[in-house]
Amino acid sequence: QESAFENSGIINFSDDLLEEQTVWTANGSIYVRAKKDAEVNIYTITGQLSKQVKVTEGETAIPMSRGLYIVRFDNVTRKVIVK
């Protein structure tokens, strides 16, 4: 079956892509979506470990103070801003 978007440049996302490990911020927290239990390390922009949290599979909210952080877990590294 041919997709209506096949040659439009629009990419159809599979469920696998939507369930990947992800990091984002909202409401004064860092949110982590993990595919399996993992240890999350959150560093200040100067490299000092700010928080270490064990998370389970799924989404976890980690409350943080405002600032710029580096989040590392399960081969994922992201820079985030908590407002």
pLDDT digits (tens, 9 = 90+) for 44-54: 999 999 999 99
What is the average pLDDT across 75-81?
A: 93
Residue where the block lists tokens 């560093």: 43
Name, in order, each residue with C-beta under 8 angstroms of 82's C-beta and a sequence gap of 6 or more: 25, 28, 29, 30, 64, 65, 66, 67, 68, 69
Average of per-residue pLDDT values in the chain: 84
pTM of the model: 0.75
What is the average pLDDT across 11-35?
A: 75
Which pLDDT does position 19 carry in this prediction? Answer: 53
Does position 20 have pLDDT exceeding 80, yes or no? no
Which pLDDT does position 6 carry in this prediction? Answer: 52
Name, in order, each residue with C-beta under 8 angstroms of 22's C-beta and a sequence gap of 6 or more: 31, 32, 33
